[in-house]
Structure formats: C-alpha cells, structure tokens
C-alpha cells in the first residue's frame, strides 16, 4: 500500500467530529490530523474540547458525528478495547493504575502471560516488563507495588503499558501537571524515544514552554472548533495565545509591589511528623511571617512538603503537628479545620475534585458549604433566602459565568470550578488565604482571572500563602518565596532574588 509507505501520510485523520453532552454541543466539526512519529500538541482553553476529542479517539465516547480514518480506512471504535487493539493508548491526567499491584502486573493487567491451566507465568511477565522498562531507560524493580513509586515514575509505568500494547498513537492528557521539573525532563526524553520508534504522540498541556520544547506541530482548538494546525517552529508564544483566545489579547500578569504593612500571619517552628514514626518528618521547623497584602510563595519539588505545610496551617492532622501560629499578633490554637475557619484561615486545596468541592452538589450548596453559619437563621436552621443572596453575591464577585447556581458543580469547566472553589472560601471571610496550586490544569484565560482576583485580594489586605507547580507563576505572583527541600526550609528569597535558577538550586536534593 502506497499510503502507508509515505512517511508524511496521515496516520490518523479525524474529520468533522461533532459531539454533544445531553444536548449541549461540545465539538462542532473538528478536524485533526496526525502523522507517523510526530509529537502533536493539542492546545486550547479549558472547555475548548481537547479532552473530549481525544476521548472519542480512544473509544471512551462511542457516539459522535463525523469520521475517523486510520491509515485511510474509516474506523469507528465502540469501546476503549477496540481503540486499544487499533494501537491507540490514552494516558489520563488521573492515572489508571492499581496501587497494590506490582509494576509488571500493572503493565500486563488483563493480558498476563500464562502457562498451563491459566497459571500466570510471573517469570515471563517480569522479564517482558523489564525489557519494556529498559527501552524507556527507566530503572525500577518490576516487582515493586506501584503505590511505592513517585507520581512521575507511575506515569512511566502507564507509558510502558501503552508500549506493551504496541501502541502507534499515545495520547497524553496534561502529563506534567503532577510532575516536578526533573521528572518532566525524563518524560520528554521518553517522548523523543517513542517518536524515534515511529509512535505518534498527542500532547495536551497548558504549559507553553513545554509545547515549544517537545512538539513538532500544534493544533489549536477554540470553543469546539479547529482554529488551525501550525508547525511549532512557525509560531511564537504570543501568536499561539492569540490563536487560543481569539479576539482577546494576551495578558501578562505581574503583581504590583507591596506597601510595608503590619505582620498578619506569623508561623514559628512548625513541624509535622510523619504518622509513620520511622519516616522523616513531613515538614520540619518552618518559620515565616506574612504581612497584610503580601503573597508569600512556597516552592519545592513534588513531595517536598508544600501541601503538608499548608494543611498544617489549616489544622489538618493536629495530632502530629507542633509549632506556634499567630494571626494579627494573637496566638491561635488549631484543633481542626473548623477552628482554622473560625480563626479566619481558608485553604484552597490542590485537587478540586477530591478535596475542594463536592462534585455532585449544586454550585450554590458548594459555595455556602464552608460558611453555613453565615446563612443560618438561628443555630442549625438554614435560610434559603440568605443562601441564595450569598450565592448571588459570590457569583457576581468572582464573575462566574453560569446561568444557574443549581447546576451540579461537576458540570462546569475546570476554570469555573476553580472560581467556585475560590468563592466558596472567600465566603467564609478569611484574612489568611492558603492556596495550594490554585491554577493547576486550568486555561490561560481562567488563570489570568484568578491572578486578578488574588491581586485584588492583596490590595484589600489579605495575607496569602501560595504554592504552584509552575515556577514562572510563582515568581510573577509572589513577594517572597520560601523554598522547601525534603520538608525543611532551604532558602527564603526576596522578590529581587527570585529567579528560576536560584529556586531550583535550593529545591534540588543535595545528594
């Protein structure tokens, strides 16, 4: 066949793909093309339809309009297994591994090599797994339970699984969202390696720098339509953002400097022991102060203790925490999150689905969940009038663009969910706001709106403690940055000193 011999022929073509969810159109005739051995970045703001398009390709959504051609033949997958057999593997943002099973067992889950009578041939399985991992230059004992691996390594196990399926197309949805920068570098090396083997990679990410580093071509989606496909060399960051947001211009953000104000939050010798006494403390002997209107950054690699520190400041796991905390000069004793809320502290958690929001609850009930006392008539009796008023106020304050607060919050896009989460905590009227990676996995437009909100809150005198997995974000937003390394403070940098090099240097393990 001449088509397949041509290296530049499309391995995959998706034509006029349309899809709606319960009558709400998400894709309107999207075209997408993928060549053998290329890395294609798929970008667009949240809600542009990237994930939906890729889930159609992976057989997750079998009902759609339009056609998919693989090597020129019309194909229609009825389920993920058919897509897998056709050589399409998707690696989701939330990894699909079974934590208790070993690396090898995960790679060959459901396809274990077996001998007589269905007995699993563990030796053969482990050998095969080792071969695949060696291909990826990834050294891990294949019999280790996956739960014991770092997130970055778990992702490599997913990729190994895709390779073991002889995948020709590997789709990665926000693969670096949970990775530290060195882990991301390993991932990129693996992607290049896949490319050499002729595997085509679809790479979905919000991180501009990564796209230009790894992609050959970029397809831009906007509001469920294809804006265009360009070579990564032919376009710059500015141009790409222009295509993603359309009419709206790019908006850089740098927080204004901070006037000298009084100290609002003071933390001294905060230590959080590991529940397992044999292991080192999660956070050890951290002291810092935050002024009114200041954004105080916490930097560090994944697992350095960023989240654990913020949780400790919010009264989570007080049984293992020691240290002293003052707000406005008065010492506060946290017993639980309830007492932290009463003391004026709010924690925007890292993962909105698992610890920030109640997905199936309505937007309104999510907005008021942490501030129910504000809408109580007396004691335990809630006032639906007060609740509606508070909900409307928070929707207006944060400009949440939805027509009804009665929608389940899980139906909103990631950016809007994040706004609801922020509004939920602002409804408690805090004076100290702890933000754990508040722009994770949301699009540029929504990020910018969150930045504006934070700047506005700072002007109003809120003290904020912020972590982020993206260094540029941290540097542009924060007045000072504390760098964590293995639970300890390894540097405290003023604004002028905050450069990516210095932060990374302080964050990297000594060994």
* Chain residues that interact with another protein, rule: CB under 8 A: 18-20, 22-24, 63-65, 314, 316, 336-338, 340-342, 347, 349, 354-361, 365, 369-370, 372, 376, 379-382, 384, 403, 407, 424
For the bound state, the minimum distance from the C-beta of residue 232 to another protein, rounded and expressed in Å, comes to: 32
Question: Where do the H-state alpha helices sit in 369-413?
Answer: 384-398
Write out the two tokens for 51: 């994930």
> How far apart, in whole angstroms, are the C-alpha atoms of residue 491 and residue 485?
9
Q: Which residues contact 418 (CB under 8 A, 6 or more apart)?
A: 352, 438, 439, 442, 446, 450
Q: Cβ–Cβ contacts within 10 Å for residue 405, how many?
A: 21
Of 67 and 143, the one with the shorter C-beta distance to another protein is 67
Of 2 and 22, the one with the shorter C-beta distance to another protein is 22
Of 121 and 317, the one with the shorter C-beta distance to another protein is 317
Of 382 and 396, the one with the shorter C-beta distance to another protein is 382
Of 89 and 316, the one with the shorter C-beta distance to another protein is 316
Of 77 and 314, the one with the shorter C-beta distance to another protein is 314
> How far apart, in whole angstroms, are the C-alpha atoms of residue 315 and residue 341?
9
Q: Which residues pair with 27 in a beta bridge?
A: 19
> What DSSP element (H or E) covers 327?
strand 321-327
For the bound state, the minimum distance from the C-beta of residue 360 to another protein, rounded and expressed in Å, comes to: 5
Vertex 16, ends 89 and 84: CA angle to 5°?
15
Of 180 and 349, the one with the shorter C-beta distance to another protein is 349
For the bound state, the minimum distance from the C-beta of residue 422 to another protein, rounded and expressed in Å, comes to: 14
Q: Which residue in this structure is represented by tokens 């990826």?
A: 136
The three-class DSSP label of residue 482 is strand
- Please give the backbone phi and psi of residue 283, each rounded to the nearest 5 degrees, phi first: -140, 135
Write out the two tokens for 217: 């071509």
For the bound state, the minimum distance from the C-beta of residue 484 to another protein, rounded and expressed in Å, comes to: 21
For the bound state, the minimum distance from the C-beta of residue 393 to another protein, rounded and expressed in Å, comes to: 19
Of 126 and 418, the one with the shorter C-beta distance to another protein is 418
Of 293 and 315, the one with the shorter C-beta distance to another protein is 315
For the bound state, the minimum distance from the C-beta of residue 83 to another protein, rounded and expressed in Å, comes to: 19
Of 57 and 498, the one with the shorter C-beta distance to another protein is 57
Answer whether 41's CB lies under 8 Å from 229's CB. Answer: no
For the bound state, the minimum distance from the C-beta of residue 322 to another protein, rounded and expressed in Å, comes to: 21
For the bound state, the minimum distance from the C-beta of residue 296 to another protein, rounded and expressed in Å, comes to: 21
Q: Pick from 510, 457, 450: which is nearest to 485 by CA?
A: 510
Of 190 and 316, the one with the shorter C-beta distance to another protein is 316
For the bound state, the minimum distance from the C-beta of residue 51 to another protein, rounded and expressed in Å, comes to: 18
Q: Which residues pair with 466 in a beta bridge?
A: 297, 435
Vertex 152, ends 199 and 148: CA angle to 5°?
125
For the bound state, the minimum distance from the C-beta of residue 226 to another protein, rounded and expressed in Å, comes to: 17
Longest C-alpha distance within the chain, in Å? 78
Answer whether 292's CB lies under 8 Å from 463's CB. Answer: yes
> How far apart, in whole angstroms, are the C-alpha atoms of residue 503 and residue 491?
8
Antiparallel, parallel or unpaired: β 217-222 and 39-43 = parallel
For the bound state, the minimum distance from the C-beta of residue 307 to another protein, rounded and expressed in Å, comes to: 12
Antiparallel, parallel or unpaired: β 200-204 and 169-173 = parallel
Of 197 and 360, the one with the shorter C-beta distance to another protein is 360
Answer whether 31's CB lies under 8 Å from 226's CB. Answer: yes
Answer whether 78's CB lies under 8 Å from 158's CB. Answer: no
Question: Where do the H-state alpha helices sit in 218-357?
Answer: 237-245, 306-313, 337-342
- Please give the backbone phi and psi of residue 298, each rounded to the nearest 5 degrees, phi first: -120, 115
For the bound state, the minimum distance from the C-beta of residue 361 to another protein, rounded and expressed in Å, comes to: 5
């Amino acid at each position: 066949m001449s088509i397949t011999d041509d290296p530049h022929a499309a391995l995959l073509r998706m034509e006029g793909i349309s899809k709606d969810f319960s009558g709400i159109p998400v894709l309107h005739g999207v075209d997408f093309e993928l060549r053998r051995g290329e890395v294609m970045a798929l970008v667009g703001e949240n809600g542009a339809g990237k994930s939906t398009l890729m889930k159609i390709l992976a057989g997750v959504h079998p009902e759609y309009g339009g056609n998919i051609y693989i090597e020129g033949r019309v194909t229609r997958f009825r389920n993920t297994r058919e897509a897998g057999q056709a050589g399409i593997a998707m690696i989701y943002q939330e990894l699909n591994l079974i934590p208790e099973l070993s690396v090898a067992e995960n790679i060959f889950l459901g396809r274990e090599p077996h001998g007589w009578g269905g007995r699993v041939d563990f030796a053969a399985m482990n050998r095969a797994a080792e071969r695949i991992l060696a291909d990826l230059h990834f050294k891990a004992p294949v019999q280790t339970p996956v739960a014991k691996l770092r997130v970055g390594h778990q992702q490599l196990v997913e990729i190994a699984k895709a390779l073991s399926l002889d995948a020709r197309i590997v789709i990665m949805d926000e693969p670096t969202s949970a990775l530290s920068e060195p882990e991301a570098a390993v991932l990129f090396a693996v992607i290049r390696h896949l490319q050499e083997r002729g595997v085509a990679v679809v790479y979905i990410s919000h991180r501009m720098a990564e796209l230009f580093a790894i992609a050959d071509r970029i397809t831009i989606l906007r509001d469920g339509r294809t804006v265009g496909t360009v070579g990564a060399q032919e376009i710059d960051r500015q141009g790409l953002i222009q295509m993603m947001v359309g009419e709206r211009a790019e908006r850089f953000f740098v927080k204004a400097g901070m006037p000298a104000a009084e100290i609002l939050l003071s933390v001294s010798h905060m230590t959080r022991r590991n529940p397992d006494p044999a292991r080192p403390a999660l956070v050890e002997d951290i002291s810092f102060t935050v002024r009114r209107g200041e954004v105080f950054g916490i930097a560090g690699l994944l697992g350095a203790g960023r989240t654990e520190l913020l949780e400790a400041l919010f009264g989570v796991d007080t049984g293992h925490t020691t240290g002293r905390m003052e707000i406005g000069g008065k010492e506060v004793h946290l017993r639980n999150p309830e007492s932290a809320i009463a003391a004026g502290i709010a924690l925007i958690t890292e993962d909105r689905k698992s610890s920030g929001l109640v997905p199936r609850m309505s937007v309104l009930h999510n907005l008021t969940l942490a501030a129910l006392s504000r809408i109580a008539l007396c004691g335990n009796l809630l006032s639906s009038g007060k609740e509606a008023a508070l909900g409307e106020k928070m929707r207006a304050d944060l400009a949440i663009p939805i027509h009804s607060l009665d929608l389940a919050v899980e139906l909103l896009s990631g950016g809007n969910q994040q706004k609801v989460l922020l509004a939920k905590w602002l409804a408690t009227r805090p004076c100290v706001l702890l933000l754990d990676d508040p722009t994770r996995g949301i699009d540029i437009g929504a990020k910018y709106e969150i930045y504006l909100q934070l700047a506005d809150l700072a002007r109003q005198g809120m003290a904020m403690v912020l972590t982020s997995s993206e260094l540029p974000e941290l540097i542009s937003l924060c007045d000072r940055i504390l760098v964590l390394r293995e639970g300890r403070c390894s540097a405290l940098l003023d604004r002028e000193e905050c450069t990516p090099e210095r932060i990374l240097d302080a964050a990297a393990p000594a060994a």
